[in-house]
């Protein structure tokens, strides 16, 4: 009997050892898949470890993260709960759990977890987002009661996969769907591609077919197209092949043109940032602006909306952040501008009832008003990619639980045009605890000419000096005023002013040292506005630009023509002026002191001018836009002529190069 018991114990130990080893191996495999971004494969391996009870805190947290990072927050919530119960101490766990709870309609639980998250050591990236969520949650219940007269119907094309980004184009519907032969290991679904189908009715389509063989790339995600007004140009997003060897492994914007009925080989759009995620492009109705989403440096947090102007030759200008009225610490995506000028977009940073909600932004009396589109366009899930056919109907996508698959496409229509909302039921007042004190900083200003007359329609770009990215672009009104533009504490900015017929100027503005102590605030929320006054002048032939741009002449050592270190910084300013003002041509006029002969000094001054010109050309400026002119000792700035005793400082004042306008195109 003793031998039998010993044998059973031995076999049991072997079984437990093998079981433990198997769970460990599954955990290691799952962790490796997770690190590689293969989240669906990671989930399958980690669930084996979870079922075996292996390191439940770590295992369940990685499963939750895999679901979240592959855009499945509801499933993630279940495993965040399990990880928390199992003792996981991961820093951002409660924040992500709260996000999932909000999508489940558990607003009270979400608020409690956000409070607990902020009471710990929140990450810098998520701290502001968590506080914003807490501040906005009281509005969510009111939004949930905001019913509209809109009816929605699912499209016949929906499947168990994913379909989104519907674009009506003529009598066809172009859409994005996961229907390729290769599986994307991130979420376990086929790679995304572009497809087309005839529209038989607003909700019924013909047989879907591949949009274009030229565009198609089997092992990459492609989608969210936008078309020019004539349908001959398309910009779309491509990326996420899952291979680390890719030159640009994230998502970028590509352009293709329809030439004689055939779409050209896609090329990356110049405005796309290869180091960032750029997606969901959308042309304006007049084709003069491209809107898109990006998480590039210099944004407000997460993914922001940007716009880039398009000139008559089809060239894209620089990307401009659409500002803090629209962009939040959360994500803003899927912009669409209707024919009547309304900006539709999706956001999880404004007050909403679920994940991504649909909003509109309109400009009223110079102020941007953001409005939630209510139920049923919005749900507790992700609602996004709205495209309006007209003011009463259109299409959008959602992963709401009434659909067939991951994301589905829906048709919407206002059944009572002219009416927007039902009257919501009365709201019982609730006494809320006092909000934490906060202060918001803004910049406003006035632009005038050199006679102090107000200048209207001046384009004012606010540039973050640390990233050289424009955070906002506004225009002055009739009284020459602009603003308000939201500023961040302790940051430095450049104000760039531009108007036809005037010099484009750059003026520094800093928030360093301007923060107000919260202890001095008497209200829970306080707005403080700083003001800038900028003068703009017209370029005049023969006039020096020193005073216009606060640029000092550059100086030389005795009998030398090389560029000193103190001179290079001033010449760099000249380079920037020439870049900002492509319509001007400058003369670099150089001078000497009166020592040595007039003939020698004439040659020395010419060498000095040519040395300064060479420096500017080396910085990328065309030689056709600058002229070197030596004046010798003929234009002294003081009395130090031949035979008159002067100090070295007085002689130094004459050894200089000055800058004046030679030509204005």
Q: Is residue 570 part of a domain?
A: yes
Confidence of residue 1 (pLDDT cuts 50, 70, 90): very low
User: Distance between CA atoms of 537 and 499, rounded to whole angstroms?
Assistant: 10
Q: What is the 3-state secondary structure (H, E, C) of 253-271?
A: EEEEEEECCEECCCEECCC
Q: Is residue 11 part of a domain?
A: no
Q: Which range, 136-145, 411-420, 505-514, is most confident?
A: 505-514
Residue 487 vs residue 15, higher pLDDT: 487
Q: Are 551 and 603 within one domain?
A: yes
Chain-centre distance of CA 172, in angstroms? 31
Tokens of 640: 């130090």
Please write the tens of the pLDDT for every residue from 59-97: 889 888 888 888 788 788 888 888 888 888 888 888 888
Q: What is the pLDDT of residue 3?
A: 47
User: Distance between CA atoms of 263 and 255, rounded to whole angstroms?
Assistant: 10
Given a cut of 50, whether residue 576 has pLDDT beyond it is yes
Q: Is residue 238 part of a domain?
A: yes
Given a cut of 80, whether residue 518 has pLDDT beyond it is no
Tokens of 323: 């500002």
> How far is the first Cα of the chain from the last one, in angstroms, to the nearest whole number?
107
User: Distance between CA atoms of 268 and 296, rounded to whole angstroms?
Assistant: 16
Q: In this structure, are residues 511 and 491 in contact, taking their beta carbons and an 8 Å threshold?
A: yes
If we measure between CA atoms, which residue out of 61, 29, 58 comes closest to residue 45? 29
Q: In this structure, are residues 207 and 195 in contact, taking their beta carbons and an 8 Å threshold?
A: no
User: Distance between CA atoms of 359 and 344, rounded to whole angstroms?
Assistant: 6
Given a cut of 90, whether residue 176 has pLDDT beyond it is yes
Domain boundary among 83, 110, 144: 144
Q: Are 551 and 604 within one domain?
A: yes
Q: Is the pTM of this model over 0.75?
A: no
Q: What is the pLDDT of residue 418?
A: 65
Confidence of residue 430 (pLDDT cuts 50, 70, 90): very low
Q: What is the pLDDT of residue 620?
A: 93
Q: Is residue 431 part of a domain?
A: no
User: Distance between CA atoms of 144 and 612, rounded to whole angstroms?
Assistant: 66
User: Distance between CA atoms of 569 and 578, rounded to whole angstroms?
Assistant: 15
User: Distance between CA atoms of 413 and 51, rounded to whole angstroms?
Assistant: 47
> What are the beta bridge partners of residue 448?
454, 535
Which segment of 12-16, 124-128, 557-561 scores lowest on mean pLDDT? 12-16
Q: What is the pLDDT of residue 341?
A: 84
Q: In this structure, are residues 396 and 411 in contact, taking their beta carbons and an 8 Å threshold?
A: no
Q: Are 129 and 272 within one domain?
A: no
Please write the tens of the pLDDT for every residue from 255-287: 999 999 899 999 999 999 888 999 999 999 888
DSSP state of 322: -
Tokens of 167: 């674009």
Indicate the SS3 state at residue 558: coil
Q: Is residue 579 part of a domain?
A: yes
Q: In this structure, are residues 400 and 412 in contact, taking their beta carbons and an 8 Å threshold?
A: no
Where residue 623 sits, what CATH number does that domain have?
A: 3.30.1330.60
Q: Is residue 2 part of a domain?
A: no
Mean pLDDT of the residues in the chain: 86
User: What percent of the chain is modeled with pLDDT above 90?
Assistant: 47
Given a cut of 80, whether residue 427 has pLDDT beyond it is no
Q: Are 96 and 157 within one domain?
A: no
DSSP track, 178-189 = EEEEEEETTTTE
Q: Are 343 and 444 within one domain?
A: no
Q: Which residue range is the domain that position 394 belongs to?
A: 153-414
Domain boundary among 354, 381, 414: 414
Where residue 496 sits, what CATH number does that domain have?
A: 2.60.40.10
Confidence of residue 111 (pLDDT cuts 50, 70, 90): confident
Domain boundary among 414, 447, 465: 414
Q: Are 111 and 221 within one domain?
A: no
Indicate the SS3 state at residue 548: helix
Which segment of 215-229, 358-372, 571-585 scores lowest on mean pLDDT? 358-372
If we measure between CA atoms, which residue out of 61, 137, 66 comes closest to residue 99? 137
Q: What is the pLDDT of residue 435?
A: 57
Please write the tens of the pLDDT for every residue from 348-370: 888 888 789 999 998 877 678 89
Q: What is the pLDDT of residue 55?
A: 83
Q: Are 287 and 235 within one domain?
A: yes
Q: Is the torsion defined by CA of 34, 39, 40, 46 positive or negative?
A: positive
Given a cut of 50, whether residue 245 has pLDDT beyond it is no
Residue 69 phi, psi (nearest 5): -70, -15
Which segment of 12-26, 529-543, 628-642 scores lowest on mean pLDDT? 12-26
Q: Is residue 251 part of a domain?
A: yes
Given a cut of 50, whether residue 159 has pLDDT beyond it is yes
Where residue 284 sits, what CATH number does that domain have?
A: 2.120.10.30
Q: What is the pLDDT of residue 541?
A: 95
Q: What is the pLDDT of residue 425?
A: 44
Helix, strand, coil shares of the chain, percent, nearest 5, are 25, 35, 40
Q: Are 490 and 576 within one domain?
A: no
CB atoms within 10 A of CB 530: 17
Q: Are 214 and 351 within one domain?
A: yes
User: Distance between CA atoms of 15 and 21, rounded to whole angstroms?
Assistant: 10
Residue 10 vs residue 377, higher pLDDT: 377
Given a cut of 90, whether residue 406 has pLDDT beyond it is no
CA 43-48-53 angle, 5° bins: 120
Given a cut of 70, whether residue 423 has pLDDT beyond it is no
Indicate the SS3 state at residue 431: coil
Q: Are 333 and 356 within one domain?
A: yes
Q: Are 295 and 208 within one domain?
A: yes
Average pLDDT over residues 580-609: 96
When divided into structural domains, the chain yields a total of 4
Q: What is the pLDDT of residue 484?
A: 86
Which segment of 141-155, 571-585, 624-638, 645-659 scores lowest on mean pLDDT? 141-155
Q: What is the pLDDT of residue 212?
A: 93
Q: What is the pLDDT of residue 30?
A: 79
Length of the chain: 665
User: Distance between CA atoms of 291 and 273, rounded to whole angstroms?
Assistant: 14
Q: Is residue 425 part of a domain?
A: no
CA distances from 444 to 322, 515, 517, 529, 534 (A): 16, 17, 21, 7, 11
- Residue 521: is it exposed, middle or buried by C-beta count within 10 angstroms (0-12/13-18/19+)? middle
Q: What is the pLDDT of residue 574?
A: 95
Given a cut of 60, whether residue 431 has pLDDT beyond it is no
Residue 447 vs residue 75, higher pLDDT: 447
Residue 81 phi, psi (nearest 5): -60, -45
Q: What is the pLDDT of residue 429?
A: 40
Q: Are 130 and 161 within one domain?
A: no
Q: Is the peptide bond before 655 cis (omega within 30 degrees of 0)?
A: no
């Amino acid at each position: 009997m003793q031998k039998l018991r010993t044998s059973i114990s031995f076999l049991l130990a072997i079984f437990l050892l093998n079981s433990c080893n198997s769970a460990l191996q599954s955990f290691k495999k799952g962790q490796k898949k997770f690190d590689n971004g293969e989240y669906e494969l990671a989930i399958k391996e980690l669930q084996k470890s979870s079922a075996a009870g292996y390191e439940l805190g770590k295992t369940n947290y990685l499963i939750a993260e895999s679901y979240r990072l592959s855009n499945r927050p509801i499933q993630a919530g279940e495993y965040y709960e399990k990880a928390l119960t199992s003792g996981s101490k991961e820093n951002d766990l409660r924040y992500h759990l709260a996000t999932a709870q909000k999508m489940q309609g558990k607003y009270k639980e979400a608020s409690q977890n956000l409070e607990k998250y902020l009471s710990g050591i929140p990450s810098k990236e998520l701290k502001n987002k968590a506080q914003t969520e807490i501040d906005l949650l009281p509005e969510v219940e009111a939004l949930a009661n905001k019913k509209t007269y809109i009816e929605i119907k699912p499209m016949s094309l929906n499947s168990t996969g994913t379909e989104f980004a519907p674009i009506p184009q003529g009598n066809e519907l172009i859409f994005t769907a996961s229907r390729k032969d290769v599986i994307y290991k991130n979420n376990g679904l086929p790679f995304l591609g572009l497809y087309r189908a005839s529209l038989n009715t607003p909700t019924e389509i013909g047989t879907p077919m591949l949009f274009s063989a030229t565009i198609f790339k089997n092992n990459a995600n492609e989608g969210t197209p936008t078309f020019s007004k004539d349908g001959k140009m398309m910009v779309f997003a491509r990326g996420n092949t899952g291979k680390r060897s890719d030159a640009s492994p994230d998502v970028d914007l590509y352009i293709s043109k329809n030439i004689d009925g055939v779409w050209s080989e896609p090329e990356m759009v110049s405005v796309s940032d290869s180091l960032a995620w750029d997606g969901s492009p959308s042309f304006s109705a007049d084709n003069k602006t491209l809107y898109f989403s990006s998480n590039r440096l210099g944004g407000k947090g997460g993914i922001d909306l940007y716009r880039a102007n398009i000139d008559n030759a089809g060239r894209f200008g620089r990307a401009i952040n659409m500002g803090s009225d629209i962009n939040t610490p959360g994500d803003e995506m899927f912009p669409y501008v209707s024919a009547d000028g309304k900006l539709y977009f999706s956001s999880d940073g404004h007050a909403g009832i679920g994940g991504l909600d649909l909003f509109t932004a309109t400009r009223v009396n110079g102020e941007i008003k953001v409005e939630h589109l209510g139920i049923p366009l919005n749900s507790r899930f992700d609602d996004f990619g709205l495209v309006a056919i007209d003011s009463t109907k259109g299409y959008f996508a959602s992963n709401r639980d009434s659909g067939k698959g991951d994301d589905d496409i829906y048709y919407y229509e206002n059944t009572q045009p002219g009416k927007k909302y039902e009257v919501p039921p009365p709201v019982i007042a609730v006494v809320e605890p006092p909000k934490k004190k906060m202060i918001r900083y803004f910049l406003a200003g006035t632009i005038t000419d050199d006679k102090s007359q107000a200048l209207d329609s001046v384009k004012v770009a606010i540039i973050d000096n640390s990233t050289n990215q424009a955070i906002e672009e506004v225009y002055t009104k009739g009284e020459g005023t602009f603003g308000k533009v939201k500023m961040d504490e302790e940051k430095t900015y450049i104000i760039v002013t531009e108007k036809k017929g005037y010099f484009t100027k750059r003026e520094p503005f800093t928030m360093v040292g301007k923060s107000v102590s919260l202890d001095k605030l008497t209200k829970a929320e306080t707005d403080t506005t700083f003001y800038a006054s900028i003068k703009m002048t017209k370029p005049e032939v023969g006039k020096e630009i020193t005073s216009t741009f606060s640029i000092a002449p550059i100086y030389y050592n005795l009998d030398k023509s090389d560029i000193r270190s103190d001179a290079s910084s001033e010449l760099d300013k000249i380079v920037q002026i020439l870049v900002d003002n492509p319509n001007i041509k400058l003369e670099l006029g150089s001078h000497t002191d009166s020592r040595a002969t007039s003939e020698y000094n004439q040659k020395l001054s010419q060498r000095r001018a040519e040395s300064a010109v060479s420096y500017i050309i080396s910085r990328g400026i065309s030689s056709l836009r600058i002229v070197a002119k030596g004046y010798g000792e003929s234009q002294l700035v003081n009395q130090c002529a031949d035979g008159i005793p002067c100090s070295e400082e007085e002689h130094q004042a004459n050894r200089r190069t000055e800058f004046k306008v030679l030509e204005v195109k």
